[in-house]
Structure formats: structure tokens, C-alpha cells
Amino acid sequence: MAQSAAPAVVSPVGQSAAPLSVKAILPWAVFFGILMMTLVYFVGAEQGAVSLVSGENVHEWVHDGRHLLGFPCH
């Protein structure tokens, strides 16, 4: 009879990984929230009269995304 050299790994059924705590998730949630709000600003509001960056470079970089998301720009 052939025997395996590797030991069998038995995992208990029904047990999952340790639950995530709010303290572990909160910094990442804040980071991604700020990132998303920044992206929405640049895609949706960075143009002409209400612009943090002078010129039209940012507007041109996000132009297609603006139309894709339904923001008017013309």
C-alpha cells in the first residue's frame, strides 16, 4: 500500500476566519471614501468657474469619464 509523504491537512467544517473589527476597517474606509470623493470632484466639478487647478488640463483628462457618468460639461 502506498503512503503519502505529506501529512493530511484537516480543516474544521463551518469555521471561518476571525471576524474583522471596525478598528481594522475604518482607516481603509476613510481612505477610499476620500479617494472616491476626490475622483467625483475631478470628474464632476473641476471645470471653469469652480476649479482648483488652473487651465483645462484636468477637464480634458476626465472628459470621457464625465460623459460616461452623465455629468454635463458643454
In a domain, 6, yes or no: no
In a domain, 32, yes or no: yes
Q: Check residue 39 and give its pLDDT.
A: 83
In a domain, 29, yes or no: yes
In a domain, 9, yes or no: no
Q: Check residue 17 and give its pLDDT.
A: 66
Q: Are 71 and 44 in contact (CB under 8 A)?
A: yes
> How far is the C-alpha of 65 from the C-alpha of 57, rounded, in Å?
14
Q: What is the pLDDT of residues 13-53, one digit of tens each?
A: 656 667 888 888 999 999 999 999 988 877 777 665 666 76
> How far is the C-alpha of 30 from the C-alpha of 1, rounded, in Å?
58
Cα dihedral 56, 62, 68, 72, rounded to 10, equals -30
In a domain, 8, yes or no: no
Beta-bridged to residue 29, according to DSSP, are: none
The domain total for the chain is 1
Q: Structural domain of residue 61, as residue ranges?
A: 22-68
Q: How many CB atoms lie within 10 A of CB 44?
A: 16
In a domain, 12, yes or no: no
In a domain, 60, yes or no: yes
